[in-house]
Amino acid sequence: MDLYRRTVNKYRALGLEKNEYNISNRVHLMAIFGIDIDEDIEGLNLLDDTEREFVKNKGIYGLLNRGGLLAREEYLTIKVEKDKYNRYKLWTNTGYSWLYPDGSIG
């Protein structure tokens, strides 16, 4: 079974249609990718509570909600680093993206 079909089947198991791309909580992330955001993403536990929620809501879920189903695995964050300018580097399966203090992703 190809990646697209597996992902669509996981969405349907959650009661979502293939066009509903919103991943907004741990349950969605766990059901679709089998990872626990708080335990399986390296570096996230090094942030304080406010930073961690910001990175999860604006960065990780924001990246995953870009594009369609096939882009999901590309944008899955596997590591988070904070730099001296209060930017967060979100390492993904295909590189990295920056999460800026204003919530924008670049």
The phi, psi pair for 92, rounded to 5°, reads -120, -175
Domain residue spans in the chain? 3-99
Give the position of tokens 């708080």.
38
Task: Check: pTM over 0.85? Answer yes or no.
Answer: no
Digit-coded pLDDT (tens) for 29-45: 887 778 889 899 999 99
Provide the total of helices (H) and of strands (E) in the chain, helices listed first.
6, 3
Structure tokens at 95: 């590189």
Provide mean pLDDT across the span 74-91. Answer: 91
Is the confidence at residue 71, as pLDDT, over 70?
Answer: no
49: DSSP letter: H
Digit-coded pLDDT (tens) for 40-65: 999 999 999 999 999 999 999 888 88
The phi, psi pair for 103, rounded to 5°, reads 95, -5
Provide the pLDDT confidence category of residue 70 given band limits of 50, 70 and 90: low
